[in-house]
Amino acid sequence: MKIAIIGAGYVGLTSAAVFASLGHSVWLLDKDKIKIKTLKSGRVPFYEPELPELLKKSLSKGSLKPTLSFSEAIPDADVIFICVGTPMSKNGEADLSQVFAAAESIAKQLKKYSVIVNKSTVPTGTTERVKNIIRKIAGVSFDVASCPEFLREGNAVYNTLNPDRIVIGTETKCAEKVLLRLHEKLPGGRVTTDIRTAEIIKYASNAFLATKISFINEIANLCEEVGTNVEDVALGMGLDPRIGKDFLKPGIGYGGSCFPKDTRALHLIAHSNSYTFKLLKAVIEVNQTQRRNFLGKVRRAVGDLKGKKIGALGLAFKNNTDDIRESAALNIIDWLIKEGGRVKAFDPKANANAKKNLPALTVCKKPEECFLKTDAVLILTEWPDFKFLPWTALKKKMRHPIVIDGRNLLDPIEMRKFGFKYISVGRP
Ligand code: UGA
């Protein structure tokens, strides 16, 4: 099939590369000239495993064509995906301006029947608004649809090639048939439904995963009070298939470009429909408190932060990405600096992005540098690399051998054997 994808971010670019690898002919549109130039040269503008290889393969076959031009990409397309950002606006709602701008640009170039699919995470009713925008401008028939995306950064290619489910929300049988055919080579369950339901499935999924994380963080806090081990509690809960073992890792609270934004947006969607989503409000609050709790642990371990030297391992919102959007690590570092702490940090991929966001931060070339004459070292992102540091040698470089592990990455018994005062989350 002929596909046009608008927006070359994690979702758009990964979908484009995957559809191209499945034999479809894909135009990838973005308004950012530098991004398109970068993509044409076979480079991915952010860190995402496996994506550069897939991009290069599709470019060399000619099945993926990055472009700035709607008039090049739209007229022939059978299916058009909108994959633009829906960032959080000042009041917490999703900012839909990029979605509506994409709809207008599509409408101006539509020359034949196409299915226009929204993949961006949007409040219920947005795809209908997209339809109304296009209907006013376009002179041909078309359908709109909603196919939310469930990929995780750091696993984007794998998740897109191996989806658990594909949700297809349509208004017509014709659009449903087109989209079922487009995805036929991909595994996973199919959920065919109406558009509004598809839109809410995405928010409900992210909100539920965020709830699991806030729940286990609360259990971790309780474990600290009663002297039990949250890792064993999570294992004991997670082996029940009704609960499931995933997303039960306690830590410093969830971050990233999705959970914080989507939980707030869903809470507001409920509010604007006169429904008080009490549980979700608590999930959001617990997440914020979890970051503060960690700051409290640092304060209790090192005393007044003024003038204290702190090493921080990890800046990205999770491992396997260079993304620092809504990163709990950066949030905590920012608080430490504001309280007078002097922070040296290292992240295998996110140093440059973090420095841009927080100029007061000193970034190191190697994790070892974060230990030099420091009063404590914090683990803020769960990069596996941090498990295998030469702890005995590093301890000697520190002013005080204190490690505060916000991700439960290390073994408490081992760390104490190395001679550290070791503090983690919900473990004795
Ligand atoms: C999330 C969802 O997992 C995807 O299914 C969804 O498609 C995506 O949002 C989106 O809406 O686009 P992502 O933001 O890439 O994916 O990251 P996750 O792996 O879900 O992690 C989110 C945050 O939760 C991270 O800060 C992570 O460290 C934290 N987390 C995750 C925990 O604290 N504990 C866990 O057990 C799992």
Q: What is the C-alpha to C-alpha distance for residues 138 and 108, in angstroms, rounded to an integer? A: 6
pLDDT of residue 91: 85
402 lines ligand 1 (CB under 6 A): no
pLDDT of residue 88: 85
220 lines ligand 1 (CB under 6 A): no
Q: Over the stretch 22-63, which tens digit does the pLDDT of each residue have?
A: 999 999 999 999 999 999 999 999 999 999 999 999 999 999
Helix axes 51-61, 10-21, angle to 10 degrees: 50
Percent of the chain with pLDDT over 70: 100
**Residue of 11, 152, 247, 319 best suited for mutating to test ligand 1, as the one with most atoms within 8 Å of CB:** 152
Identity of the residue numbered 202: K
Contact (CB, 8 A) for 318 and 379: no
Q: Is 223 a catalytic residue?
A: no
Alpha carbon of 211 to ligand 1 centroid (Å): 11
Provide DSSP, 301-352. Answer: HHSS-TT-EEEEE--SSSTT----TT-HHHHHHHHHHHTT-EEEEE-TTTHH
Q: What is the pTM of this model?
A: 0.96
Check whether 229 has a pLDDT greater than 90. yes
Q: What is the C-alpha to C-alpha distance for residues 298 and 303, in angstroms, rounded to an integer? A: 8
Alpha carbon of 291 to ligand 1 centroid (Å): 16
Residues 6+ apart with CB under 8 A from 365: 346
pLDDT of residue 68: 98
Q: Over the stretch 347-388, which tens digit does the pLDDT of each residue have?
A: 999 999 999 999 989 999 999 999 999 999 999 999 999 999
Sign of torsion over alpha carbons 61, 64, 66, 70? positive
Identity of the residue numbered 84: V
Residue at token pair 């997670």: 238
Helix axes 278-302, 328-338, angle to 10 degrees: 50
Q: What does the chain come to in residues?
A: 428
Of ligand 1's listed atoms, the one at least distance from the Cα of 256 is: 14
Average pLDDT along the chain = 97
Alpha carbon of 163 to ligand 1 centroid (Å): 15
Of ligand 1's listed atoms, the one at least distance from the Cα of 323 is: 15
Q: Over the stretch 173-227, which tens digit does the pLDDT of each residue have?
A: 999 999 999 999 999 999 999 999 999 999 999 999 999 999 999 999 999 999 9
Residue with CA at minimum distance from ligand 1 atom 36: 247
Name the strands in the sheet holding 115-118, side by side, starting at the edge strand that comes first in the sequence: 64-67, 25-29, 2-6, 79-82, 115-118, 143-146, 165-170, 189-193
Show the CA angle centred on residue 342, arms to residues 325 and 360, nearest 5°: 45
Alpha carbon of 209 to ligand 1 centroid (Å): 8
Catalytic residue among 83, 147, 223, 258: 258
Q: What is the C-alpha to C-alpha distance for residues 184 and 195, in angstroms, rounded to an integer? A: 20
